[in-house]
Amino acid sequence: MASHPQSGQAVRELSILLIIDFMRANPSCQPNGGGMTQTDLFSQCGFDWGDQPSYPSTSQQMWFCALLRVMQQNGLIQQLPDKKWKMV
């Protein structure tokens, strides 16, 4: 059985693969597309738990933002001046 940190790393890696798969299938996220907002990506990738008591949907996106930044640092995606994301 994997350790908790290893399991967490596996979840992050699978999450990145899910985001890449979604973006590859979405015309807006293609290199020549207009991109998608972080909120739309978060929701359409299925990461949104809906508004929860004292923790609305918009507050649930902090870890997702970190995933996007890692993907950006790895040259997979880029953020446009209007804050939308697309594939490189």
CATH topology of domain 4-87: Arc Repressor Mutant, subunit A (1.10.10)
* pLDDT interval class at 85 (50, 70, 90): very high
Q: Which residues pair with 87 in a beta bridge?
A: 77
* Average confidence score pLDDT of the chain: 95
| Residue 88 per-residue DSSP state | -
pTM score, whole prediction: 0.91
Rounded mean pLDDT, 52-69: 91
Q: Domain extents for the chain?
A: 4-87
Q: Is the pLDDT of residue 2 over 80?
A: no
* pLDDT interval class at 59 (50, 70, 90): confident
Q: With CA atoms as reference, report the closest residue to 11 among 66, 56, 52.
A: 66
Rounded mean pLDDT, 22-28: 98
Enclosing H/E stretch for 78: strand 77-79
